[in-house]
Chains A and B, each alone.
Chain A
């Protein structure tokens, strides 16, 4: 079964064979090809290149081609500040004056960065049709705050009708973009509204229930499921969010996901989340990420649940951590076994490293979970074997060291290797988590043979 079908099945309330995995990759994927965040958000070719790489490395069932909540705001007159390592930020608010005047401008396919996004979506869809493509739009309340600024919070008391009109307008704008994204091949539309956690359930029902219900209904009418993303402690708004009838609710680590799922289950709505962004994904090891992913999957089951980060993956989150989560999803038992070996460090066997100095050949050691069950590991082994095949007269031995075996954990510890899959050439760690090109590997092997 394809990842896309797995996700669509979950969203239809079916119990599935394994938990689907959706890394909310945004600017972080720029790292895979050495670009900045700004470069990938402004270049369709660079963004697509990173997306293809991310899909291969992170082994997702679904992913968003673009995670940038400023696309609509920029078109509607907000100035953006751009960064190397994060999506752009809104820095001016065109409706921040004392009088709140509701705009009438609607989005066109030719506006702002929409053509770039549609181009990337079409090309990514063609290249990776089995992956569920998430089209992310800015939630109407957050878009309203982009336009109005933080005055909007006071307006909720001082100008109730004005805020209602503005949020309704934003919902219409967002629906325009959702329609374009669906036409470009998106399988799911997610409205990302971080500010929802900052208002009470009463305020939610007053200002957001109606526009959100309308938005999700319009997406459903186009035959596409929807998702409602929120960041922060949105615990008290989970039920009002359910009442707007999205297909899925996505939360971060500020919400107790087990308790929240009891609420979403009542409404037959899928819950998505909530790998910890900072502690685990940004600052943790690959093993920390695998452990948390496995714990979450075991806690949440295979009905109405999608494993995902709490929000947009931080730019500096190591690729190895996302690769590790993908491994845990696709090879849960093997990863569990490997993690047991890690935690049993004191009982690991003593080993001697090969005598790398005296070898009469180049030794390529691929440290993996298990190439038979782990896709990324399989690619790594294949790269090593393919490189070996084009090395001509150079004598090369390729060995897979699966960490399913405790002696290979000892090997990792001894050479101070932290992540898998990795490639070690004559005792030197060359590639960690990211799969090299065959040509690059061949050059390294030839170079090693000349030492």
Chain B
């Protein structure tokens, strides 16, 4: 039996772009479907990375190089997935809250979400509340994800809650929040839908929300 899934996963975890490229091509040549290569090779590798990051076994540099290796693989698969008419598992709009320029955490969450097969629209840093809503409407998003690193900026999350409540997507889109100073109590107090403490958990929760929305 071919070990190509394991080869892809292992090399992705080590951030080895060239090797990931070779083994993804091998899998394609073996006639494996692009969806299987994505799920059992690339995403399987990123799942391990996510779990190890959550457990504090690895840190940001290791996650970033793994995500970079993953993108090499997904770039190869994308045209094949499109021609096979594979649909995205859901759409997330993500950005850091107004006045907050700290985007390391947000970028990690984006990568983890992408590695779960979600379509992620990154609207950057210092995002005004109405911009989240505009992007969500434009992209027919299932989830809006806001991050804040500062105690002084996290208070703006309640403005995003209000913007959603006053929009045409109220009740349709779910608001996820995260970042160093935020916790479940704060999430509840401002009326956001979900708080997750780290990037892998955020990605899993977003996937769960999207699966429910598309059920």
**A residues touching B (Cβ–Cβ < 8 Å)?**
81, 83, 85-86, 89-91, 150, 153-154, 156-157, 198-200, 203, 231-233, 235-236, 277-279, 282-283, 314-316
Contact = CB atoms under 8 A, between A and B. Distances in A.
- Give 7 closest A-B pairs by Cβ, nearest first: A314-B151, A86-B152, A153-B61, A198-B60, A278-B181, A85-B152, A156-B61
A83 B181 CA distance: 18
Contact of B152 (A91, A157, A235, A315): A315
Contact of B56 (A157, A235, A282): A235
Contact of B15 (A81, A83, A157, A282): A157
Contacts of A203: 59, 61
B56 A153 contact: no
A91 B183 CA distance: 26
Contact of A316 (B56, B101, B104, B151): B151
Interface stretch (B2-10, B27-35, B62-70, B134-142): B62-70
Contacts of A153: 60-61, 64
A198 B104 contact: yes
Contacts of A231: 180
A25 B74 CA distance: 47
Given A89-B101, A150-B104, A316-B152, A232 B59 contact: no
A283 B186 CA distance: 10
Contacts of A282: 151, 181
Contact of A278 (B60, B103, B151, B153): B151
A150 B96 CA distance: 15
A198 B180 CA distance: 13
B204 interface: no
Nearest to B68: A154
Contact of B101 (A91, A156, A200, A315): A91
Interface string B95-136: 000010111100100000000000000000000000000000
B150 interface: yes
Most chain-A CB neighbours within 10 Å: which of B58, B99, B104, B180?
Answer: B180
Most chain-A CB neighbours within 10 Å: which of B62, B150, B151, B180?
Answer: B151
Contacts of A235: 56
B181 A277 contact: yes
Contacts, number: 62
A154 B102 CA distance: 17
26 contacts: A81-B101, A83-B152, A85-B152, A86-B99, A86-B150, A86-B152, A150-B103, A153-B60, A153-B61, A153-B64, A154-B61, A154-B64, A157-B65, A198-B59, A198-B60, A199-B59, A203-B59, A231-B180, A232-B180, A233-B56, A278-B151, A279-B183, A282-B151, A314-B151, A316-B151, A316-B152
From DSSP, what is the main secondary structure of chain B's interface residues? loop
Given A85-B152, A314-B151, A314-B181, 10 more contacts: A81-B101, A86-B150, A86-B152, A89-B102, A154-B61, A200-B58, A279-B185, A282-B181, A315-B152, A316-B151
B198 to A, nearest CB: 10
Contacts of A81: 101
Contacts of A316: 151-152
Contacts of B153: 86
Interface string B7-31: 0000000010000000000000000
A90 B152 CA distance: 16
A277 B99 contact: no
Contacts of B107: 150
A278 B56 contact: no
Contacts of B65: 154, 157
A199 B183 contact: no
A40 to B, nearest CB: 15
B62 to A, nearest CB: 7
Contacts of B151: 277-278, 282, 314-316
A90 B101 CA distance: 8
B48 to A, nearest CB: 16
B101 A157 contact: no
B14 to A, nearest CB: 10
A199 B64 CA distance: 12
B141 to A, nearest CB: 25
A153 B68 CA distance: 12
A253 B152 CA distance: 18
A232 B198 CA distance: 12
A86 B152 CA distance: 7
A232 B104 CA distance: 13
Contact of B59 (A86, A154, A200): A200
Nearest to B180: A232
Contacts of B150: 86
A401 to B, nearest CB: 33
A93 to B, nearest CB: 11
B184 to A, nearest CB: 11
B61 A199 contact: yes
Nearest to A203: B61
A86 B155 CA distance: 13
A2 to B, nearest CB: 32
A84 B101 CA distance: 15
B109 to A, nearest CB: 14
Contacts of A157: 15, 61, 65
Contacts of B64: 153-154
B62 A200 contact: yes
Contacts of B99: 83, 86
B101 A236 contact: no
A385 to B, nearest CB: 38
A198 B107 CA distance: 14
A200 B63 CA distance: 11
A89 B149 CA distance: 12
